[in-house]
Amino acid sequence: MSAEVAVRGAVVAALRGDAELMAGLNGLFDGAPGRASAPYGVVGDCVALEWGAKDVDGRELVVTVSLYDAGEAPARLAALLGRVDAVLRVLEPGGGWRVVGARLARSRVARTGARDAWQALADYRMRVVRV
């Protein structure tokens, strides 16, 4: 299985499996949902680069997780982002891959086009090696 497929699937499963995160969301989707009501989360792009050594098959992946909420302020998103961070820092994808490093690469919180709508976006860099 490719690193992209293994890691993306593991991210979706791990986030959906976190009871505290899911208690704060109406749903978590693998890709953009057709319809969803805030607050909800989306596992978006998963971009991979070659990362390895002579005898090590490795990939560096950047996985994007977005959270959407409605309200006058984005306060609820901070707690939800904290749960995403806690889950992804201990992720083990399986599928023949092992995480050797996971960290937040960048994040942002911004209003979306709709009134009182917010989006939190977090890109996680994960380095994985084939087991």
Report the pLDDT averaged over residues 25-42: 94
pLDDT at position 81:
94
Q: How confident is the prediction for the chain on average, in pLDDT?
A: 93
Q: Residue 80's pLDDT is what?
A: 94
pLDDT in the model for residue 53 = 84
State pLDDT tens for residues 81-103.
Answer: 999 999 999 998 888 999 999 99
DSSP of 49-89, one letter per residue?
A: EE--BTTB-EEEEEEEEEEEEESSS-HHHHHHHHHHHHHHT
Is residue 25 pLDDT above 90, yes or no? yes
Q: Can you give the residue ranges of every domain in the chain?
A: 3-130
Contact 122, 64 (CB under 8 A): yes
Which CATH number does 3-130 carry? 3.30.2000.30
> Residue 115: which pLDDT band, with cuts at 50, 70 and 90?
confident
Where does the pLDDT of residue 78 fall: very low under 50, low under 70, confident under 90, or very high at 90 and above? Answer: confident
Q: Sheet holding 117-130: strands in order across?
A: 28-30, 40-50, 58-70, 117-130, 97-111
Q: pTM of the entire structure? A: 0.92
Between the alpha carbon of residue 35 and those of residues 64, 85, 117, the distances in Å are 19, 25, 15
